[in-house]
Amino acid sequence: MPTITASKKELFKLIGKKLPEATLKDRISMLGTDLEEIDGDDIKVEIFPNRPDLLSTQGLGRALASFIGTKPGLREYKVKPSKKKVIVDKNVTMRPYTACAIVKGLTLSDQNIIDLMQLQEKLATTHGRNRKKSAYGIYPLESINFPVHYVAKDPKKIKFKPLGFEEEICAALIPEVHPKGKSFASLTSNWKQFPFFIDAKDNIMCMLPFTNSEETGKVTVDTKDVFIECTGIDLCNVNIALNILTTTLADMGGTIESLEIEYKANKKTFTTPNLNPKEMLLDLNRINKLLGLKLNQNDAIKWLKRMGFGTKKIVDKAKKDNLTVLIPSYRNDILHQVDFAEDIAIAFGYENFKEQIPEVATIAKQDPLQIFSEKIRQILIGLGELEVKNFHLIKETELTELMSTKQKVIKLSNSLGDHNILRDAILPSLLKTLSINSHNEYPQDIFEIGRVFKKSFDKSIDTGIKETLNLAVALCSEQVDFTAIRQVVDSVSLHLNTKISVKEISHPSYIEGRVGQIMLNKKTIGIIGEIHPQVLENWQIKAPVVNLELDLEELYKEARK
Amino acid sequence: MSKSSSHAKLILKLHPYERKVLPLLAKTSDFQELISQSGLKDIEVMRALQWLSNKEILNVETQKTKMIHLGKNALHYQKHGMPEKQLAKALKDSFQSTATITKLTKLSSEEINASIGQLKRNKAVDMQKGEKGLELKATKDTKKFLTTKSLEERFLCKQFPFNYEKLSKEDEQALKCLNKRKDFIIIKDEKSVKINIKKLGKQLSKLKINQNVTSRLTPAMLKDGSWRKKEFRAYDIEINVPTIHPGKKHFVNQAVDYIKNIWLEMGFEEMQGNYVHSAFWDLDALFVPQDHPAREMQDTFYLPGKAKLPKKIYPKIKAVHEDGGNTGSAGWGYKYSKEEAEKIMLRTHTTVLSAQTISNLKESDLPAKFFAVNKVFRNEALDWKHLFEFYQVEGIVVDPNANLSHLKGYLTQFYKKMGYSKVRMRPAHFPYTEPSVEVDVFHPIKKEWVELGGAGIFRPEVVKPLLGIDCPVLAWGQGMGRIISAYWQITDIRDLYRNDLKQLREMKLWLE
């Protein structure tokens, strides 16, 4: 989740008063943002992904001012038509939507520039999903000639000076040489043409989704008026981004002007930005029930305003308990009634909810297989064995090479570490445990109850991987022999009143003639034997090991018969 | 207690070795003597002395001492006489050739030459050049030479090994001379035992000590009743004994058991399920948008292949993502991808169990409460504060009357039993809950709030497609690693699954 740095001085200006540090910390935390630290003027806050409108000092200040009550209610932003036009060409199919705006009369401070750059970057990372869904550009208005064209072109035929470069280069080189080009080249791997903003005098304004041009796309403290473009693959996402950017600039002191966006493909024209609030009916009964509160309509209005919403009372008598809520145009996280419930809960204060345990009678039940494994655990502990607990993910060599076997493994597609195999037996984990304990006291008699994973063609298994709960035991000391491990399985069998038998087999991990299948009612449920010295040498284990491993679920089924 | 009864009590505790050694101490305090007279091995005498010293009967000091041993030649001459004496004995009043003398004495020519030197210095030989070389005869002093013991001979009469520290001036000179001879003297550093008998020891050593005490009570004694005539040795039960190790449950499982019990006591039913799931169940069913950053490769372990999707529920989940379906929600407003849903992964949270449980419930089953304490997986490289698989405590309350205060109630109750009396809720965000809650507990020692996990009320977009009706579902997924580590003061989280057998054997139990 993104973390932003907001300016405390700027924040106090926006909320209209200074707060003691403790109050500021508390209010930021209880607003629904995660305060990390306050260091001098820097406030570091983690912003949750549902509130991209808080990704700037201005956005945070706006929300905080409502929350603490200095400026509650819906913020209204006036939009004046600029009569300027952006023409969207038919061929920008790879990134078909744009929304644009003009903000005039700015006097930007250094802090404003920092805030603006931070907002643009964090917004593109989170809301824009690393520019995949949407990306944004801000330009000094003075250098742009309208109408502006949003158009896809062959980059080989275009030359311009990208941001941070001193000379013009061929646009086809940008994905290879420009830092932003390199970062986002993967988004464009199958593009033959790229989207560009080109002004009426054929000046290249930007190449998407990479970079603005050095000549037309650099905002400084001297910039008074700006042009903003947002482009992407989801119209709603692009519009919200534009609304967040323009309202932030308006909060920096600018006035907003709209543009006409003309889509050549369907000959439709939209006016952006659209900062009119969306309306939604509030179901106060449902909210009271969900929160366990008894708020009346006035309470609800008060708390909604603390979260920056507007309200309109309904005159319709049939719905007299209901309210219409005006949702600010920069918020896109209100999908359902319950989203109001959360905002009202935040305004009411999470700290003000009393804990309560309802008198609801339900019957507890433990998982039967877990109860069974606990019984098995008790037998083994009674036999003096120590329980160990290993990861389910192990290294490939641990399952194959070190076990002297060659088998197909279930490998993760994308592990960051070298533990990237789902184990198909617990034995390798136990040998690993013995291997790292060779300096400790013997005898080392250990067991583990855990899951193992096998590929399965059983149609009832949706993922194709069958998981079973296994028991594995390993006895390791100078004196162990096959009898010792056979006694363990017999002891388990005795206490379950089952008839376990052993049938000799061959297995590369075990000594020939000292390994068998564990059979229960003609079904193979496991393996028992003495580990081959080659395997012990592979693991650098210094004493003989006998082992058994069996399927606890099968054992359970038979024991319950 | 009278002196004699305290003595008797002390004697009762004596080990057979001590019983053999103690009476001997009246006569000697020499370690070698004790060995030879007791018939015990040196290590047994040493043990007896150690135990007697623990009982304040004596003091034992072991010291390093320089000891003089005789070499191979010295031992030979000690038996057969010094070569110069052998030579003097062979001399006659008339001249004999050295060859004849050599034959007679069986000395080597080297020995003869060295010995001639000695005799000459003592004027005990006369020499002349004969036809076959040197010829020798006795003098008037030869007899005297033969009858007086030399310094060196006197030295060789001592008991060896001999303590170097106890050498007299004369001895030192003798040693110096002997040391010139080949294989005569060996000087070694040796441990010696110095025994100082205390007053108590002197008193006890004079008492009669029964050598026939019984250590072990045997079944035979019980059978024939002979135990009645036995004197049983008293043990020193206050000393330490060697450690033994029991079989034992892994400490993490001890904690997991305790946590499970808390939920069982509150009337919750345990959920179990697979570790491997489709993205459909793990994420889509929980209304996590298909382009949510958490789905990205760096957070989630994916497996190759495609999962089968449940026929009945699939269209409902698709609809709720696209436009909210029949839930009254706007949905995410994108085109739902089946391909994304079919991805196979290791579950990223136990909440997937909650989703599956809800999908198996009927309206008549409500209210219902479920929990799970089980493993989840995150694609992290292993380090001191990150594990790629760890425990999560999951819970849901499916109750038409549930509300946010109940959520706080259940969690507060749980954490109280975990030893944290104060619980705080903070606003948070999860795609599947609304309201969403971050749960903090107040750490009583660190005096600070510790973040332990998320909670909330499931969104209708989650509940309605799975359950068929709208119903509030309280839900939580809490991390347990921090609490479990804190209990055993573990700072490196990898120590939870280190499987060091010494650590496992010695670790205290979960005592809650």
According to the model, what pLDDT value does residue A278 have? Answer: 94
Give the count of domains, chain B: 2
Greater pLDDT, A133 or B133: A133
Residue A123, H or E segment? helix A110-125
Q: Is residue A396 part of a domain?
A: yes
Contact B505 A386 (CB under 8 A): yes
In chain A, the residue whose alpha carbon lies closest to the alpha carbon of B461 is A336
B403 and B311 in a common domain: yes
What are the chain A neighbours of B380 within 8 Å (beta carbons)? 416-417
Q: Which residues of A touch B247 (CB under 8 A)?
A: 380-387, 445
From B315's Cα to the closest Cα of chain A, the distance in A is 17
Under an 8 A CB cutoff, do B268 and A360 touch?
A: no
Assess whether pLDDT exceeds 90 at residue B191.
no
B41-67 tens-digit pLDDT? 988 999 999 999 988 999 998 888 888
pLDDT for res A425: 97
Together in a domain, A120 and A244: yes
A321: pLDDT strictly greater than 70: no
Residue A390 with chain B: CB contacts under 8 Å: 497, 499
Within-domain flag for A236: yes
Give the full edge-to-edge strand order of the sheet including A410-411. Answer: A393-394, A421-422, A410-411
Q: Is B222 domain-assigned?
A: no
Together in a domain, A118 and A189: yes
Q: Which residue among A40, A67, A94 closes a domain?
A: A67
**Highest mean pLDDT of the ranges B83-97, B98-112, B247-261:** B247-261
Whether residues A414 and A496 share a domain: the answer is yes
A415 in the same domain as A480: yes
Whether residues A10 and A112 share a domain: the answer is: no
How close, in Å, is residue B339 to chain A by CA atoms? Answer: 14
Chain B closest-CA separation from residue A202 CA (Å) = 35
Q: Do A336 and B461 touch (CB under 8 A)?
A: yes
Question: Apex CA A468: angle with CA A549 and CA B252, to 5°?
Answer: 80
Same domain for B261 and B176, yes or no, is no
A32/B429 touch (CB, cutoff 8 Å), yes or no? yes
Q: Are B433 and B461 in contact (CB under 8 A)?
A: no
Residue B120 counted as domain residue: yes
Find the CB nearest B501 among A339, A361, A440.
Answer: A440
CATH of the domain at A107: 3.50.40.10
Residue B14 lies in a domain: no
Q: pLDDT tens digit string along A473-506?
A: 999 999 999 999 999 999 999 999 999 999 999 9
**What residues of chain B lie within 8 A of the CB of A336, using their CB?**
324, 327-330, 434, 459-461
Q: Of B271, B277, B324, which is closest to A463 when you measure between CB atoms? A: B277
List of residues 6+ apart from B137 with CB closer than 8 A: B91, B92, B93, B94, B95, B96, B125, B126
Determine the average pLDDT of the residues in B285-306. Answer: 87
Number of domains in chain A: 4
Containing A198, the helix (H) or strand (E) segment is: strand A194-198
**Does A357 sit within 8 Å of B334, measured CB to CB?**
no
pLDDT tens across A196-226, in order? Answer: 999 999 999 999 999 999 888 788 889 999 9
Does some domain include residue B302?
yes
In a domain, A357, yes or no: no
Is residue A240 located within the same domain as residue A333? no
Are residues B139 and B270 located together in one domain of the fold?
Answer: no
| Pair A406, A334 in one domain | no
pLDDT score of B297: 63
What is the structure's pLDDT at B163?
Answer: 82
- Same domain membership, residue B178 and residue B82: yes
Question: Same domain for B372 and B492?
Answer: yes
Residue B259 domain flag: yes
- B34 in contact with chain A, both atoms CB, cutoff 8 A: no
A360 assigned to some structural domain: no
Based on the fold, state whether residues B285 and B419 are members of the same structural domain: yes
- Residue A365 CA to residue A320 CA, distance in Å, equals 46
A62-105 pLDDT, tens digit per residue, is 999 999 999 999 999 999 999 999 999 999 999 999 999 999 99
Same domain flag for B263 and B144: no
Same domain, A304 and A372: no
Q: What is the mean pLDDT of residues B81-100?
A: 84
Segment B484-509, tens digit of pLDDT: 998 999 989 999 999 999 999 999 99
A467–B275: do the CB atoms touch at under 8 Å?
yes
Residues B157 and B290 in one domain: no
**A414 contacts on B by Cβ (under 8 Å):** 297, 301-302, 379
- Please tell me which of the candidates B269, B305, B502 has its beta carbon nearest to residue A464: B305
Inter-chain residue contact B379 with A415, CB threshold 8 Å = yes
Q: Which of A239, A254, A272 is where one domain is finished?
A: A272
Q: Determine, for residues A290 and B403 on separate chains, whether the beta-carbon distance falls below 8 Å.
A: yes
A365 pLDDT band, cuts 50/70/90, is very high
Q: Is the pLDDT of residue A322 over 80?
A: no
* pLDDT for residue B316: 97
Q: Is residue B456 part of a domain?
A: yes
The mean pLDDT value for B135-149 works out to: 85
CATH number of the domain residue A434 falls in:
3.30.930.10
Least confident of A323-327, B130-134, B369-373: B130-134
Q: Do A358 and B249 touch (CB under 8 A)?
A: no
pLDDT of residue A430 exceeding 70, the answer is yes
CA dihedral over B54, B59, B63, B68, signed as positive or negative: negative
Task: Tell me if B329 and A463 make a contact (CB, 8 A cut-off).
Answer: no
pLDDT at residue B187, rounded to an integer: 86
**What per-residue confidence (pLDDT) applies to B464?**
97
Which has the closest alpha carbon to A444: A434, A436, A430?
Answer: A434
- Domain of B260 in residue numbering reads as 253-506
Instruction: Identify all chain B residues contacting A472, using CB atoms and an 8 Å cutoff.
Output: none
- H helices, E strands: number in chain B: 22, 16
Q: Do A236 and B333 touch (CB under 8 A)?
A: yes
Q: How many Å lie between the alpha carbon of A247 and the closest alpha carbon of chain B?
A: 23
DSSP track, A348-361: H-GGGPPP------
Rounded distance between C-alpha atoms, residue B127 and residue B117, angstroms: 11
**Are A341 and B434 in contact (CB < 8 Å)?**
yes
Final residue belonging to a domain, choices A324, A351, A378? A351
- Does residue A36 lie within any of the structural domains? yes
Cβ contact A441–B305 (<8 Å): no
B400 contacts B366 by C-beta, under 8 angstroms: yes
Chain A residues whose beta carbon lies within 8 Å of the beta carbon of residue B379: 414-416
- How far CA A529 is from CA of A222, A381, A446, A480, B125, in Å, comes to 82, 21, 15, 11, 87
**A313 or A115: which carries more pLDDT confidence?**
A115
For an interface test with B, give the residue of A46, A97, A414, A429 to mutate (most B CBs within 10 A).
Answer: A414
The answer to whether position A363 is within a domain reads no
Residue B41: half-sphere exposure toward Cβ, Cα within 13 Å: 3
Contact pairs from chain A to chain B, CB under 8 Å:
263
pLDDT of residue B147: 85
A341 and A409 part of one domain = no
Distance from CA of A541 to the nearest CA of B (A): 14
Which domain CATH number covers A63? Answer: 3.30.56.10
Does B330 contact A336 at a Cβ distance shorter than 8 Å?
yes
Q: Do A338 and B424 touch (CB under 8 A)?
A: no
Same domain, B177 and B257: no
pLDDT over 80 (residue A265): yes
* CATH code where residue B444 lies: 3.30.930.10
**What is the extent of the structural domain holding A103?**
79-272
Give contacts of A350 with chain B, Cβ < 8 Å.
Answer: 424-427, 437
Residues A525 and A555 sit within 8 Å (Cβ to Cβ): yes
Measuring CA to CA, which residue among A140, A124, A110 is closest to residue A10? A110
How far does A410 lie from chain B, in Å, by closest CA? 8
Q: What is the pLDDT of residue A317?
A: 64
pLDDT tens sequence across B213-244: 888 999 999 999 999 999 898 888 888 899 99
Same domain for B404 and B492: yes
Q: Which of B266, B276, B380, B422 should one mutate to test binding to chain A, selecting the residue with the greatest count of A CBs within 10 A? A: B276
For chain A, say whether B460 makes contact (Cβ under 8 Å): yes
CA atoms of B260 and B417, how far apart (whole Å): 11
Residues 461-490 of B with CB under 8 A from A: 461, 472
Yes or no, beta carbons of A441 and B245 under 8 Å apart: yes
Write out chain B residues lying below 8 Å of A31, CB-based.
Answer: 427
A328 plus A444 within the same structural domain: no
* Angstroms from B51 CA to nearest CA on chain A: 28
CB contact under 8 A, A355 and B412: yes
CATH of the domain at B122: 1.10.10.10
Question: Looking at beta carbons, which residues of chain B come within 8 Å of A356?
Answer: 405-406, 408-409
Which one of B247, B272, B413 has the shortest CB-CB distance to A380?
B247
Share of chain A above pLDDT 90, in %: 88
Record: contact A419-B388, CB cut-off 8 A: yes
Within 8 A of B334 by CB-CB distance, chain A residues are: 234
Domain-located, residue A220:
yes
Residue at which a domain ends, from B159, B183, B207 = B183
Q: What is the reported pLDDT for B298? A: 65
Examine residue B10 and state whether it is found in any structural domain, yes or no. no
**Does B150 lie in the same domain as B269?**
no
Q: For position B455, what pLDDT does the model report?
A: 96
Q: Is ipTM beyond 0.90?
A: yes
Q: Where does a domain end: B158, B183, B208? A: B183
Residue contact A356–B298, C-beta within 8 A? no
Q: Does residue B292 sit in the same domain as residue B437? A: yes
- pLDDT beyond 60 at A319: no
**Domain end residue (candidates: B183, B198, B217):** B183
Nearest-by-Cβ selection for A389 from B252, B328, B330: B252
Residue B308, Cα to own-chain centre: how many angstroms?
51
Tokens of B273: 């399920």
Residues A258 and A120 in one domain: yes
Interface of B with A in 237-296 (CB under 8 A): 245-250, 252-253, 260, 263-272, 274-278, 291-293
- Both A482 and A335 in one domain: the answer is no
Chain B residue at shortest CA distance from A366: B270
Of A484, A467, A474, A468, nearest to A432 by C-alpha is A474
Beta strands per DSSP E along B318-432? 343-346, 368-377, 389-398, 423-427
Mean pLDDT for chain A overall: 94
Q: Is B346 on the interface with A (CB under 8 A)?
A: yes
Name the strand (E) or helix (H) holding B154: helix B151-156
Q: How far apart are CA B38 and CA B42, in angstroms?
A: 10
Q: Is the pLDDT of residue B10 over 90?
A: no
What digits encode the pLDDT tens for the residues A13-29?
999 999 999 999 999 99
